[in-house]
Amino acid sequence: MTTLFKNQAFTISHADGSRFEGEGLRAFFEYRKLGIAGATGGKFDAHVIRAVPGRHSEAKWHTHDLDFQMVYVTRGWVVFEYEGEGEHVLRAGSCVLQPPGIRHREVRHSDDMELIEIVSPADFGTRDATAP
């Protein structure tokens, strides 16, 4: 039985006990769930995203219907383009807070790219968008 503390449950995820799955938002990425969505009743989610070697971004503009989205790159590099901000190269150690509703796109990435993404809420919509 899981004990709740202030509407959250204790959870822990180990890399050697988890696997990456290709069932995510983008076909050129794989996703490793960290158990945060279940532990927070869907208020938050966190996952590790890594590039699928040899597969590349479609560079489509889009927006997300969420309250919070933070990306922290742990390996490799990725280029994002943001409405009103231009292109930015994020490398290992780079962090970006993407404000709610900002139009953006993933332009390209290294084959070894890996990042952590934290969002709220866990389930959110994604919409195609026109270029700014």
The size of the chain, in residues, is 132
Buried b (16+ CB within 10 A) or exposed e, 96-120: bebeeebbbbbeebeeebbbbbbbb
> What is the rounded CA–CA span in Å between residue 10 and residue 3?
7
Domain boundaries, the chain: 19-88
Q: Is the pLDDT of residue 8 over 60?
A: yes
Q: In this structure, are residues 71 and 29 in contact, taking their beta carbons and an 8 Å threshold?
A: no
Task: List, for residues 37-60, the tens digit of each pLDDT value.
Answer: 999 999 999 999 999 888 887 889
Which pLDDT score, from 0 to 100, does residue 121 have?
Answer: 97
Residue 56 pLDDT: 85
- pLDDT at site 4: 66
User: pLDDT per residue over 74-100, tens digit each?
Assistant: 999 999 999 999 999 999 999 999 999
CA–CA gap between residue 8 and residue 132 (Å, rounded)? 38
pTM, whole model, 2 decimals? 0.88
* Token output for 80: 């994002």
Cα 132 from Cα 123, distance rounded (Å): 25
